[in-house]
Amino acid sequence: MPHMMADKLGHASTTVSALRSDEPAKGRLHLYDVLRGFSVVSMVAFHLCYDLKFINGVSLPFFASPFLDLWRNSISWAFVLIAGCMYQHSRDNFRRAGRYLALALAIYVVTAAVRVDTPISFGIIYCMGACTLSARLLELVHLRPSGPGTACLMLFAFVCLLDLKSGSVGLAGMRLELPETLFSTPYLSWLGLPGPLFTSGDYYPLLPYLFLYLAGTATSATLVRNGHPAVLARLRVRPLEFLGRHALEAYVIHQPVLLLASRAIAMAMTY
């Protein structure tokens, strides 16, 4: 089951030089932090339900498809899209990508050793690192996406590739089944073509999520060029802002804490 994370821009200043307002707000774009913080709260609640039901055997009838899938996607898609929007405000995206990829490797090692659940291979943190690295490489060759039209095109590509890991692409009524040979190798799981023996407790490959990330970068590039709406800097919800600024730390520590908490709750419910 995917374990979602929030994207924290370690040294991102997220400053704005122009806001569409008579009195431009200055400093950090707080709305991004608020949205990210809200997603952290949703993530913690989701994983608490997951740990209670699937690890500790607590009956949670509401926590099932399609509600479970909609909830999970609302969290992970929000994180990826916001991360793309924040790309423009990072001082060093190569370094940022490297941190994520190193942490993704560490998470794989730990989850493979502990084995409380299925080890995490190519999870959401890997996805953040791979998308950030890909966006930076595109920027180096002057292919950085920008503009509302490009953002819409990226979103369309994302939707068309949602079932890539299951072997098909396209929309309802216009689907293309991919050759099975693409899924016969173990070396393309990172891309979005999982091999026959591939398993992961959190699977967010480069595709289709790169296109969702690039939709965010295209949107942000337009806002940087034309000026950010004042609400991005003026909206304040300080508890959520704090969580948004420390989202990566929250991701790293929340699951061990929830495993203990869910176990205690499950034991208490048996008495």
**What are the residue ranges of helices labelled H in the chain?**
30-50, 67-86, 93-114, 124-140, 148-160, 206-226, 231-234, 238-245, 247-269
Q: Identify the burial level of 123 via C-beta atoms within 10 angstroms of its C-beta, where 0-12 means exposed, 13-18 middle and 19 or more buried.
A: buried
Q: Do residues 215 and 151 touch, judged by C-beta distance below 8 A?
A: yes
Question: Quick one: what percent of the chain has pLDDT higher than 70?
Answer: 89
d(CA 152, CA 238): 32
In a domain, 238, yes or no: no
Average pLDDT over residues 227-234: 73
In a domain, 237, yes or no: no
Closest among 40, 47, 211, 199 to 130, alpha carbons compared: 211
d(CA 14, CA 25): 12
Average pLDDT over residues 5-15: 38
Higher pLDDT, 253 or 223: 253
206 is written with which tokens? 């480069």
| Domain range for 129 | 92-228
Q: Do residues 205 and 127 touch, judged by C-beta distance below 8 A?
A: yes
- Res 27: pLDDT: 58
In a domain, 15, yes or no: no
Whether residue 8 has pLDDT greater than 80: no
What is the phi/psi pair of residue 250, to 5°? Answer: -60, -40
In a domain, 153, yes or no: yes
Total number of residues shown for the chain: 271
Give the total number of structural domains in the chain. Answer: 1
Question: To which H or E segment does residue 229 belong?
Answer: strand 228-229
In a domain, 6, yes or no: no
In a domain, 203, yes or no: yes
In a domain, 52, yes or no: no
d(CA 89, CA 11): 9
Q: Do residues 9 and 93 touch, judged by C-beta distance below 8 A?
A: no
Average pLDDT over residues 97-123: 92
In a domain, 42, yes or no: no
Lowest pLDDT segment from 15-19, 53-57, 104-108: 15-19
Average pLDDT over residues 64-75: 96
